Copies of this chain bind each other. A is one copy, B any other.
Amino acid sequence: MIEITPVLDSRSNSPLYVQLANYIKQEILSGRIKPNEKLPSKRNLSRYLNLSLNTIQSAYEQLCAEGYVESKPRKGIFVSTFNEEIPSNQIFSQKCEPENEELKVNIKYDFNSGKVDLEHFPYSIWRKLTIQSLYQDKGELFYNGNPQGELLLREQIAKYLFASRGVRCSANQIIIGAGTQVLIGLLSLLIGKDHIYALENPGLHRTRTTLQDLGVHTISTPLDEDGININQLKNSAASVVYVTPSHQFPYGMIMPISRRMELLKWAEGKNGYIIEDDYDGEYRFKGKPIPSLQGLDTKGNVVYLGTFSKSLIPSIRISYMVLPSSLIKKYQESFTVYKQTVSRLHQDTLYRFMNDGHWQSHLNKMRTLYRKKHSTLMVSIQNYFGENAIVVGGNSGLHIVLEVKNSMKEDELISKALNVGVKVYPISIYYHCAKESLSPGVILGFGGLSETEIDIGIRLLKEVWEL
């Protein structure tokens, strides 16, 4: 009988059978116990080590399950033969990289366009409803739900979209997803690879990257003062176009009705699609929100994308798309294999939030709030910069583009600002090629700053930009 004399620690957190199995494993790995050798019988080893038969049994089963040993009926337990050599030092050799935490600069005034006002988020209501979701549907909400998203939430979204955005759809046309990038991925599968996609240039870089990473053929189409240049689009081979008509990103123009009608006619003629990303269409500072392309579409050529990231909270990750009937049919036939990516619990909480009317009050409150911040921003820019800066795209949304009339380039504007704790953002990354960006300017988001902070931030910029 081969000798097995482990040092076992009965006070260890690790059960004795695990310690024993590990010991034998090491003996095998190190070559001290050879392939094809017979292990002691359970009874013998139990007596020898003064351990219960159960412990030995469990250890042997473990070794057996891991393939280190094999049980041969009526013969005993034998060490397996391996086709490949097992490195004895395998266990501690793989190098692990240390965690790289981002260097934090001391930023006091962050004009990040992705930030929203959380001071006024209705925490107590959201908590109450979260708890309701957790209590009232014991179990059910913890299973996987409809891959398209919860019906109750989709119904609320359809109702809201009709009332506020002029989008006409049933809940059946809506697909919920964990962010626009996830939905764009699914959408590109539904639309198929035969289409060429025209993208606004400059435009949202995350969408461009996502589509390109997916292997979609994309082309860049420049803007004019009404949004995407329709003539360039018509002259291209594209049959799908991705646009941000409510508030072009980043330049902020609102696409007028005439351009919308032209786009729709183009899509109909091409038998293609318009992807309308209404990422912050809830916030307009003049008049009420203008009707969406989806609402004007009579032929089923428009896909409408929306999100709760700007209007509610970013980190909850709930976006949605409204598909025309041709695409929703395709989805339901072939793509429900993709599981829903948004937590069902959050979907339920959001449903309750909308159903109880909190969503509408929240939006109303935020509209007033952002209108004030927007107005402060405009006044501060006028006061401090005067004629030395031009605001572009300031009629809606949570950011503006600021064209600065000094000799500084974009990176200089940004780094000078950073020196006084103010973070402003580049436009160049939204261009297909960074060097295309013409007039020097930066993006200023104001959703996450208070009115006072906005004013101080702009004043600091005046100083470092020497305006």
Count the copies: 2
A245-257: CB near B (< 8 Å → 1, else 0) gives 0000000001111
- Whether A287 touches B257, Cβ cut-off 8 Å, given contacts A178-B341, A297-B94, A317-B178, is no
- Whether A97 touches B288, Cβ cut-off 8 Å, given contacts A80-B257, A130-B134, A142-B118, is no
- The range of chain A's interface size is 35 or more
Cβ–Cβ contact A339 & B181, under 8 A: yes
Cβ–Cβ contact B82 & A257, under 8 A: yes
Give Cα distance in the complex from A66 to B395, angstroms.
Answer: 12
- Whether A314 touches B257, Cβ cut-off 8 Å, given contacts A65-B284, A65-B286, is no
Cβ–Cβ contact A66 & B290, under 8 A: yes
A82 CB contacts on chain B under 8 angstroms: 257-258, 261
A130 CB contacts on chain B under 8 angstroms: 130-131, 134
Cβ of A160 under 8 Å from chain B: no
A317 in complex: contacting residue of B118, B134, B332, B343, CB < 8 Å: B343
Give Cα distance in the complex from A96 to B341, angstroms.
Answer: 25
Cβ–Cβ contact A126 & B115, under 8 A: no
Cβ of A145 under 8 Å from chain B: yes
Cβ–Cβ contact B83 & A258, under 8 A: yes
Cβ of A265 under 8 Å from chain B: yes
A416 to chain B, nearest CB (A): 26
Give Cα distance in the complex from A21 to B182, angstroms.
Answer: 37
Cβ of A168 under 8 Å from chain B: yes
Most chain B CB within a 10 A radius of its CB, from A83, A87, A258? A258
- Whether A178 touches B342, Cβ cut-off 8 Å, given contacts A135-B127, A168-B94, is yes
A300 in complex: contacting residue of B94, B261, B284, B341, CB < 8 Å: B94
Give Cα distance in the complex from A256 to B291, angstroms.
Answer: 62
Cβ–Cβ contact A261 & B86, under 8 A: yes
Cβ of A6 under 8 Å from chain B: no
Cβ of A76 under 8 Å from chain B: no
Question: Which residue of B is nearest A65, CB measured?
Answer: B287
Cβ–Cβ contact A90 & B298, under 8 A: yes
Question: Which residue of B is nearest A170, CB measured?
Answer: B96
Cβ of A179 under 8 Å from chain B: yes
A314 in complex: contacting residue of B84, B100, B143, B254, CB < 8 Å: B143
A101 CB contacts on chain B under 8 angstroms: 151
Cβ–Cβ contact A256 & B286, under 8 A: no
Give Cα distance in the complex from A300 to B342, angstroms.
Answer: 32
- Name the segment of A207-215, A381-389, A433-441 touching the other chain: A207-215
Cβ of A320 under 8 Å from chain B: no
Give Cα distance in the complex from A81 to B288, angstroms.
Answer: 22
Cβ–Cβ contact A345 & B286, under 8 A: no
A173 in complex: contacting residue of B96, B325, B339, CB < 8 Å: B96
A102 to chain B, nearest CB (A): 9
A303 to chain B, nearest CB (A): 13
Cβ of A369 under 8 Å from chain B: no
Cβ–Cβ contact B142 & A134, under 8 A: no
A34 to chain B, nearest CB (A): 15
Cβ of A33 under 8 Å from chain B: no
- Whether A172 touches B65, Cβ cut-off 8 Å, given contacts A179-B341, A315-B142, A339-B179, is no
Cβ–Cβ contact B118 & A127, under 8 A: no
Give Cα distance in the complex from A390 to B296, angstroms.
Answer: 61
A343 in complex: contacting residue of B170, B209, B297, B315, CB < 8 Å: B315
A67 to chain B, nearest CB (A): 2
18 more A-B residue pairs beyond the given contacts A84-B262, A317-B340, with a C-beta to C-beta distance below 8 A: A18-B288, A62-B290, A64-B286, A66-B291, A67-B254, A94-B168, A94-B297, A94-B298, A97-B325, A114-B144, A115-B143, A118-B138, A127-B134, A130-B134, A181-B338, A205-B337, A206-B339, A210-B338
10 interchain residue pairs of minimum CB distance:
A67-B256, A62-B287, A315-B344, A84-B261, A67-B257, A178-B341, A142-B313, A118-B139, A96-B170, A66-B290
